[in-house]
Amino acid sequence: MSAYLPPLRDMEFVLRDLAGLAEIAALPGYEEASSELVSSVLEEAGHIAEEVLAPLNQTGDRQGARLQDGKVLTADGWAAAYKTLVDGTWIGLSADPEYGGMGLPGLVSAAVNEMWQAANMAFSLCPMLTQGALNAISECGSPEQKALFLPKLISGEWAGTMNLTEASAGSDLGAIRTKAVRSGEHYLISGQKIFITYGDQDLTENIIHLVLARTPDAPAGVKGISLFLVPKFLVNADGSLGAHNDVHCVSLEHKLGIHASPTAVLSFGDQGGSIGYLVGQENRGLEYMFVMMNHARLNVGLQGLAIAERSYQQAVGYARERIQGKPLGGNDRTGIIDHPDVRRMLMTMKAQIEAMRALAYVAAAALDKAHATADEEGRAAALKFAELLNPVVKGWCTEIGNEVASLGVQIHGGMGYIEETGACQHLRDARITTIYEGTTGIQANDLVNRKIMRDKGASAQAAIATVDALAVQLGKESDPTLKAIGQQLAVGADNARTAVAWVVASAAEDPRLPAAAAVPLLYLMGTVLGGHQLARSAQIARQRLDAGEGDPAFWDAKMKTALHFALCLMPKASSYLAHITEGSRTVMALSAEQF
């Protein structure tokens, strides 16, 4: 497996020029996020990614996590790598300084997470989930729970997990059977959860499980779910650890990828009841858990980007070194990077990666604005935009991440199918990203039912109007590249506008129609919104070239990459529109017996 080199130049361009780092740093609470500080943070995080995490990726995949004598053991080197994060207080990068966090914007944390996920996705799932638990407790926990749990989670001495899924309740959380019975000031939890990422490990002295369960008199369905904090080791009032709680890892899943990430089956209450503490109010657990889930969904979208970047870097390196035949028009045998079809694949990978990065960072910036903007109207507008982007980033970026990782294997040819090169590990690791934290279908239904239908498409149409405005602007440019990008962007915006209107109107005719159109709509929105960000980058690149600022090769590549996306990938929006408005009627055409 090739080395990983953090793409800091492109990341900093997106942070500053597309996601608006200066605007975020001007918000209350984020004043310390100066350009200089952020550059320093990214550089050091990049060193950790490149020198500490990346070298463990392939060895961790081969060794995996293992359950031995009731204890989960992580791969060799994992504990030392985790200590590096703890020593640098990295896990609390965007956490509240009142409890020991750095208080930096989530936008900066997103960039750091991209690098760490690219370097070693299996390892980075642990701090990622802890950060999600931090968000949930910070927003929904009591003052006492915050004081007791947040400092140790922020320091990394303790880790956090998310416990939703049960054998009989996958995405249908209303079918959860785990029980919570009040016993004095706490509850006794009993039941079993599956697919718990880092449900047990040997990296931290304690694990705080966030567990969905149902009280005896709870209403049926999702309205009767409550959220509980269940420590692996009980925590005394002074923060010291007490006895082992009645929660145990009974098995680890054998998975297609991310082998070094322990995916546990956890059993609660086998010996009388696992002690848990109610978060907030009873029967509001799903609402609270969505704080953690939405954080995880954005970060899984970043995983799609990260694994694509890692696969792309490896494919470029291999294409430079692999000598195979003579390229068309050439006399000498050179690297396959000179073959047009390899260039086609590399350009497709590069263009989609840059679109994903920009869209994900813009989404992270919107969340920062929703959290810290001073006026209520500004916060509400930013939140609507962030919520609209969340399922798109999660769903589209992970699907494209799988596509890019597959192209990486293809560029390697037969060697890509051999484990020793490492190319197929990226594809295996990427496959889970479209499944966990809600499948692409669940993200698409969220986009349609919760984000578009709630305001009859107004938020989506507002976002599309911004795309259209840039398309009109670019259409007036004298530069032929910008003009061509603007023309294709206008077509994409029109397709998106028509699709959103159709979905809203079709719901009244047959609710199955927007459901059948949901995934193509998500793909369409990802393509158009991602292409919009690349069009913005091309416009900025033209301005920098005209002003003679920076590296002209970098800006030239920006323009050519954006043009490739516009000419070769944006046209997919038209086919998605046809799938939505016409093909949706064929989805349910056959009876179940006809399959």
User: What angle in degrees, to the nearest 10, is found between the helix axes of 458-475 and 512-547?
Assistant: 30
Instruction: Collapse the DSSP code of 77 into the 3-class scheme (helix H, G, I; strand E, B; otherwise coil) and give the result.
Output: coil
Residues near 163 by beta carbon (within 8 Å), at least 6 away in sequence: 193, 196, 199, 209, 210, 211, 212, 230, 266
Place of tokens 């009980």: 234
3-state secondary structure 13-66: HHHHHHCCHHHHHCCCCCCCCCHHHHHHHHHHHHHHHHHHHHHHHHHHHHHCCE
How many other C-beta atoms are found inside a 10 Å radius of the C-beta of residue 465? 11
Closest CA to 132 of 112, 159, 108: 159
Distance in angstroms (rounded) separating the CA atoms of residues 84 and 118? 17
Closest CA to 128 of 247, 4, 261, 277: 261
**For residue 248, what are the β-bridge partners?**
267
Instruction: Collapse the DSSP code of 536 into the 3-class scheme (helix H, G, I; strand E, B; otherwise coil) and give the result.
Output: helix
Query: In what helix (H) or strand (E) does residue 248 lie, and over which residues does it extend?
Result: strand 247-252
Please report, for residues 42, 226, 588, the alpha-carbon distance to residue 515 in angstroms, rounded to integers and kept in the order given: 41, 28, 11
The verdict on whether 437 is a catalytic residue reads: yes
Query: In what helix (H) or strand (E) does residue 575 lie, and over which residues does it extend?
Result: helix 572-578
Residues near 591 by beta carbon (within 8 Å), at least 6 away in sequence: none
Residues near 106 by beta carbon (within 8 Å), at least 6 away in sequence: 94, 364, 367, 368, 371
Please report, for residues 164, 219, 241, 438, the alpha-carbon distance to residue 228 in angstroms, rounded to integers and kept in the order given: 11, 17, 18, 21
Q: Which of 419, 437, 477, 509 is catalytic?
A: 437
Query: In what helix (H) or strand (E) does residue 266 lie, and over which residues does it extend?
Result: strand 263-268
Instruction: Collapse the DSSP code of 167 into the 3-class scheme (helix H, G, I; strand E, B; otherwise coil) and give the result.
Output: coil
How far does the chain reach from its first CA to its final CA, in angstroms? 42
Active site residues: 437
